[in-house]
Amino acid sequence: MKKADLAKSRRAVSVEARQKMTIDDLAIMVAKGFEGIDKEIGEVKDRLGKVEDNLASTRRDVLALGDKFTVKYEFHDLANRVSLLEQKQKTKR
């Protein structure tokens, strides 16, 4: 092999090595990026689970409030009945 051919061959290997190294570096960077995203997705899932638990708890509390109070139309019916009883009581006096 001549000196010129040897230099060409070294340059070709050097260029290939740099390109391969760059591609490998890029692959490593992408892999690390996906690892970071996986971690963030895991954190979001944890937070979402907590929000769902909180929402379920709030729903139970709201439903329990409904058991403690009368419905609006029932309240108005009872208020009307009390009003009639009061009027009858006044007329009896």
pLDDT band at 57 (very low <50, low <70, confident <90, very high): very high
- Average pLDDT of 45-55? 96
Domain locations in the chain as residue ranges: 3-92
Q: Where are the alpha helices (DSSP H) in 1-93?
A: 3-68, 72-92
The larger pLDDT score, comparing residue 85 to residue 17, is at: 85
pLDDT of residue 13: 54
CA distances from 70 to 60, 66, 73, 74, 78 (A): 17, 7, 8, 6, 10
Residue position matching structure tokens 């409030």:
65
pLDDT for the residue 83: 93
Compute the distance between CA of residue 4 and CA of residue 11 in angstroms, rounded to an integer.
11
Q: For the whole model, what pTM was predicted?
A: 0.45
Amino acid at 44: V
pLDDT at 84: 92
Whole-angstrom distance, CA of residue 88 vs CA of residue 62: 39
Tens of pLDDT, residue by residue over 63-75, are 888 777 777 778 8
